[in-house]
Structure 1
Amino acid sequence: MPNKAGILFKRLSLKSRLVLAATVWLTAMIIAAGVTVPSQVYSYMVDDAKAQLNIYLDEITGNLEVDEAGELTLSTQLSDPRFSHPYSGLYWSASTDQSQIRSRSLWDRQITFKDKNTEAFGARDELLIYVDSTLYFPDYDGPIHITIGIDEQPIEDTLHKLMGQLWIILALLYVGVMAIIVIQVFWSLSPLTKMHKELNQLRSGDKTQLEDDYPSEIAPVVSDLNALVFHYQELLDRARHHAGNLSHALKTPLSVLKNEVATLDDDTKQHLQPPLDQIQNQIDYHLGRARMAGSKNILSVRANPSQRIDAISMAFDKVYADRGITLINEVDSELEVSIDPTDLDEMVGNLLENGYLWAQSIIRVHAQTLDQENVNIIIEDDGPGIPEEKLTQVVKRGVRLDETTPGTGLGLNIVSEMVHSYRGEIALSRSSMGGLKTVLTMKLSH
């Protein structure tokens, strides 16, 4: 089975696709900015703190003294008063193998290291940003280790406040950009919305063509569509006129020939009558196909099946009164299909006439909505029906299963081709009532 999510995605409108793509892209950019900007700011602030610590390191190195015994002294007080304030968060210490001195800010504590000397902690066990260095003085043979650290928490607090403000700014930016994108998408696609509205007006018969004030990208499509609609309507109009002219032109000569043949002897009549019937069948068939071409305004056609069925059944009730057939019409009176009323009469009339000819007592007509676009008109009877192996044959041109009944064998074939011309289908099967079940699939009118 096809993936439902994939089908729904393919059916997304252009507006939805553009807005969805913009939403995904903008969301990714905002999240990336929200993650990378704080990280970059934190790195910058740490680097800035280490740069300041290196300045202090140079100051300590310049004022540090060591004697031959390895005793360390600082010749002057450092410039930053925080080194003298206990637990201030800014610390230093210097040590040799024999001696160690440290800032007053450490008080009675020391700078400690954990996790393989990757993390340093101060007097209050606060995590430090630190720099360290190993020096060698000419008056002392051993190494001198100097470590300077500063509390990391103020940077974390500053970063936390910055992130809060940053996310507010990014949220406002997100909403503002999305609003602009949505406005841009709807404005850019408004000509397509206008075209859809005009096509609906064409379908309803309120317009005969689309307007010509479209953007340059759509204007050629609109122009070609107007030309196609005009050409199609002209061809249909011309075809119907030709069909009517042909019908009138052939009716009188054919009637004369039939009357003349009727006066001839039986032997001659037997030879001439079949060709005349064949000519009549051919005329009926091709005139039916000409009528099947559709409405003059194909986009605006609509018909009410329930009303047409009632009208046709009233006529057939009189014609076939001696058969006592009851037609039950269960089709919704509000239902409308996109078919010309004349063509719907042709299709339904052929099917109902078959029902009146073959049903025992009841013909049932009902509808079944398939989806938002299609509906089934179902005609069933309680007659003898058609054998399963012959269901596909009866819609072929000229096929008659019973030669004793009047007809040309063209009815179901004309119905099949007519419903196909309206993008529909016909299906024959056995009815639950025992007779024939005919299903006409048609497009709903909107």
Structure 2
Amino acid sequence: MLSLRERALLGGVASGAVSVAIGLIAVLSYINSRVLDRFDEALEDRHTQLVVGLSVTTQNPAALGDLLFDPDYSTPYSGRYWQVTNSTGDVYTSASLFDETLAEPRSISDGPVIWDTMGPGDEIVRSAFQEITYEDGTVWGVSVAENKEQLLVERRVAQRSLMPVFALVGLIGVASSLLLMSAIIGPLRTLRADVSHRWERDEDLKPENYPGEVSPLVTDLNQLLLRNREIIAGSRRQTADLAHSLKTPATILRNELLNLSDSGASTDVAQEALDRIDAQIGRSLARMRAANSAELTHSRTNLSQSINRLSRLFLIMAEREGKLFSVTSPKDVWIRMDTQDIEEVIGNLLDNAFKWCRKSVKLSAEIHEDGIVIRVEDDGPGIPEEARREALRSGGRLDTSVAGTGLGLAIAVDLLNAYGAKLSLDTSRSLGGLEVRVVLPPKGVAKTLASDMS
């Protein structure tokens, strides 16, 4: 289906072309009529000259040629002719007719009869004829004629002179159509841009900023967006309530297992199963939360603040365990991602790094052309390239010597996929262990100023 822009452009061009064509036909018709009128007026003037000349030579018509000084009358077949005929049938003609004669119309009127007839050499001429009764009582049929080729030449000259004008008018019409299209489509283009960027400004659209035909649509959009926010907020509250309600029985079960363990019973298998249940519930709830945010809410988070907050928590862990933790982050960077989601992703990655590192963990964030790149690196054993796909699979634990469920990376992948972000595994160039690389799409990025924190 054609877009509104294409429809307006095609409609404007079509209407402009039709208008120019109609105008061209009308003007050419008027020009042709005016050229014909001028041609007939000149023909009538020559006819009058012939009538006046004949009035003084009715007794000697052969002398009439000496009174008409137009050289075309003396040139055979020049295209300009005269002829007089008396009541007795005698015919006197201009030398230009040579041995030919002009036909006379059958109908007679009080004024000159102008008509098209055949001339010498089968040429078409336009002739003016009238019967004149002179004072001496003689009656003469007076005719003048001219080849119509001259009329056609004048018409072509007039038409050629008008073509550039109409071409200019056509261009102006097309340009006007483009301007009109821009003026009509402009508010819709503005609305599209405002809808695309309204999340970054975190404000509703204002109907009064748009034309009357568009403002009802803007009002409906605001209501729809408000309803979406309410639905999403309700879904997230239900998810939080579900998580809270599941934590209580899980805690009771964990306490019971602890009591059984204190009494000498073996609870390792049950503890591991409960850990996996907790992790699976946590993953499912995280996926539900991400599905109800992501592109629907266009949430915005100050990534710098989230990294600073997590850095303070893990610095305490690093100091307690005697490990090194360094952070490099830009300042004042905003991303279109929910705060809880991005902090859960980074938190899971840091938790895995501290579990497997020997001595050092490094967190860094950088601005690139393809988005914001977050790296979590450690100096642990890393993951072989052939095993990295298994490590990203749900519950894909490659080593059970360290406590955990193997769902940390899977949860991070689920959350990032909901926002169009990507997670990949590699080998750290600086520390030698695992490098987890997260690429966030470049949406809603504010100004950035690089700085280091350690």
| Map of 1:66 onto structure 2 | none
The offset of 1:357, in angstroms, is 3.6
1:198-217 matched pairs, under 5 angstroms: 200-201=197-198, 204-206=201-203
Alpha carbons of 1:323 and 1:15: their partners in 2 closer, same or farther (altered >3 Å)?
farther
| Map of 1:435 onto structure 2 | 433
* Larger mean Cα displacement after TM superposition, 380-389 or 347-356: 380-389
Letter of the aligned partner of 2:282 in structure 1? L
Partners of 2:419 and 2:425 in 1: how far apart? 18
| Map of 1:355 onto structure 2 | 353
The offset of 1:289, in angstroms, is 3.2
Task: Tell me the matched-pair count.
Answer: 371
| Map of 2:282 onto structure 1 | 287
| Map of 1:312 onto structure 2 | 310
2:396 paired residue among 386, 396, 399: 399
Structure 1, unaligned runs of 5 or more:
1-9, 63-72, 104-129, 134-145
TM-score after normalising by structure 2: 0.62
The offset of 1:404, in angstroms, is 1.3
2:326–2:361 contact (8 Å) kept in structure 1: yes
Alpha carbons of 1:194 and 1:94: their partners in 2 closer, same or farther (altered >3 Å)?
closer
Alpha carbons of 1:174 and 1:389: their partners in 2 closer, same or farther (altered >3 Å)?
closer
TM-score after normalising by structure 1: 0.63
1:393 aligns to what SS in structure 2? helix
1:205–1:299 contact (8 Å) kept in structure 2: no
The offset of 1:288, in angstroms, is 4.2
| Map of 1:3 onto structure 2 | none
The offset of 1:414, in angstroms, is 0.9
Partners of 2:357 and 2:46 in 1: how far apart? 110
1:401 aligns to what SS in structure 2? coil
Q: Please tell me whether Structure 1 or Structure 2 has the larger radius of gyration of its CA atoms.
A: 2
* Larger mean Cα displacement after TM superposition, 353-362 or 37-46: 37-46
2:9–2:177 contact (8 Å) kept in structure 1: no
1:131 paired residue among 124, 127, 133: 124
1:310-389 matched pairs, under 5 angstroms: 310-321=308-319, 322=321, 324-329=323-328, 331-359=329-357, 361=360, 363=362, 365-370=364-369, 374-389=371-386
Partners of 2:26 and 2:368 in 1: how far apart? 57
| Map of 2:116 onto structure 1 | none
| Map of 1:121 onto structure 2 | none
1:440 aligns to what SS in structure 2? strand
Partners of 1:240 and 1:74 in 2: how far apart? 123
| Map of 1:275 onto structure 2 | 270
The offset of 1:92, in angstroms, is 0.8
| Map of 1:302 onto structure 2 | 300
2:331 aligns to what SS in structure 1? coil
Letter of the aligned partner of 2:230 in structure 1? F
The answer to whether the aligner puts 1:92 opposite 2:86 as a matched pair is: no
The offset of 1:164, in angstroms, is 6.4
Alpha carbons of 1:84 and 1:217: their partners in 2 closer, same or farther (altered >3 Å)?
farther
The answer to whether the aligner puts 1:247 opposite 2:247 as a matched pair is: yes
Partners of 1:51 and 1:43 in 2: how far apart? 12
1:177-216 matched pairs, under 5 angstroms: 178-186=178-186, 189=188, 193=190, 197=194, 200-201=197-198, 204-206=201-203
The offset of 1:282, in angstroms, is 0.9
Q: CA RMSD in A?
A: 5.0
> Percent identity over the alignment?
17
Partners of 1:198 and 1:84 in 2: how far apart? 84
Partners of 2:356 and 2:20 in 1: how far apart? 73
The offset of 1:399, in angstroms, is 1.9
Letter of the aligned partner of 2:437 in structure 1? V
